[in-house]
Amino acid sequence: MSGLGTGGPAGETPGAGPPSEGRRGGPPDGSLRVGPRYAGRAAELRDQGSPLPGEDLTPPVHLALLGGPRVALSPSPDMHRNALALAGIRGDYLPFTVNAEDLPTVLPALRTLGYTGLNVTVPLKEKVLPHLSGLTEEARIIGAVNTLLNSPSGWLGFNTDAPGFAEAFVKDLDPCPVLILGAGGAARAVLHALLTLGFMPSVSARRIEKAQALAREFSEAYGAPVETLPWRNFGEPWGIVVNALSASSPEELGENPPAPALEPGGLMADLNYGRGNNWFRRLAVESGAAFRDGLPMLACQARLSFIRWTGLADIPLDPFLEGVGAL
């Protein structure tokens, strides 16, 4: 399967950084690893040769994560293995490093192998769109997907990032102005969530023309204003700032990231996770604001993906939170 390789330990992944800067996606030998609360159940299912009474567990459910080299650091396998064990479903979730140019080969191969569902992450959330047989309206508006479901007609695309962001960061907050840093696929999901909930977003990116095009597109689609601001010139302190860039440190960006003013008691939300020398965490501390990274959002969107694949709407958030170390 050209361009597809399982993610190994963090230290063995080119450009992924040392293990202390992230999480592994699972043992390189492919063995099942779940949280301690689910280990007994997982062992029972792994050793079992037939379905449990009253349950149709055949064939096993095959799930996977596709993306760049950082998939080896993802906690997604831990989250979904926990959920499979809790639900009494035999199966597994594996991370694969995939190049965008190999998607025409990889996606049909995974269908042939019987994979039920896939997650896609950076840099594939937008690049995978031409290879799908259908999209939800939400995913079409956002212009990016993170969840694929194997259907008779091909892979169907969904976006659970937007509702995952809303649940993790802003569902209990009153609508207010929000500054979004970045204008890529992650920013599109954040914009959708904020506009749906009545927040007033502004966008800033190094390429101002990209931010302007994004703001214009979403303003027209939602009938609500979306402002654009010059890079590094953000005006008055903000109550909420969202880092939707793929970088969280000077080392990743090649320069110091922007430093928007935060209100004391405000919120700095960084959609990345497991990043060393996090510029935005330090900015929040210096401003007296709260800091949250992307792990709670990852857990929330993972649960929504799992529901899409299995139909188990009552699966709790706990196995996903444990998978990201937040429980």
Distance from C-alpha of 77 to C-alpha of 34, rounded to nearest angstrom = 9
Q: Within 10 A of 88 (CB to CB), how many other CB atoms are there?
A: 15
Nearest to 5 by CA among 65, 61, 63: 65
Q: How many residues does the chain have?
A: 327
Cis status, amide bond into 258, omega within 30 of 0: no
Cα separation, 149 vs 160, whole angstroms: 12
Long-range contacts for 279-287 (Cβ within 8 Å, ≥24 apart)?
279/248, 279/249, 279/250, 280/241, 280/243, 280/248, 283/259, 287/237, 287/261, 287/262, 287/263
Residues 6+ apart with CB under 8 A from 227: 201, 202, 203, 215
**What is the spatial distance between Cα 290 and Cα 48, in angstroms, rounded to a whole number?**
46
Nearest in space to 92 (alpha carbons), one of 74, 77, 107 = 77
Q: Is 127 a catalytic residue?
A: no
Residues 132, 140: contact at Cβ < 8 Å?
Answer: no
What b/e string do you get for 138-149 counting C-beta neighbours within 10 Å, with b at 16 or more?
bbebbbbbbbbb
Q: How far apart are CA 8 and CA 25, in angstroms?
A: 7
Cα(2)–Cα(103) distance, integer angstroms: 9
Q: Spot the catalytic one: 125, 127, 171, 210.
A: 125
Catalytic positions, written as ranges: 125
